[in-house]
Structure 1
């Protein structure tokens, strides 16, 4: 099981990224590594940093 503290840490990273870019900027977060690598890092090692995420224009990923 994952602790509430761990879930809060991952959520906080996302919120900090959103706040640093401004609430009106039209961008989303996308993983900078393949899904499987990020999932293993987050859910097995329970470590996640802002370096694991980067932002891109929503228009480059929307279909």
Structure 2
């Protein structure tokens, strides 16, 4: 995954789906603050959370 901006990709997919950070957070059991931290790369999601985010955003972790 070198070179991939995971946070930017989360935000891109979230906005394509017209979801707020709070709506995405509710789908995966997080707070909107944590989603924001992932999007700004202040924090990195665990592999479990990344799988949940991918499912909520109708994508895979390979995308």
Decide: shared fold, TM above 0.5: no
More helix per residue: 2
More strand per residue: 1
Give TM-score, length-normalised by structure 1: 0.37
Give TM-score, length-normalised by structure 2: 0.37
User: Whose RCO is larger (CA < 8 A, sep 6+)?
Assistant: 1
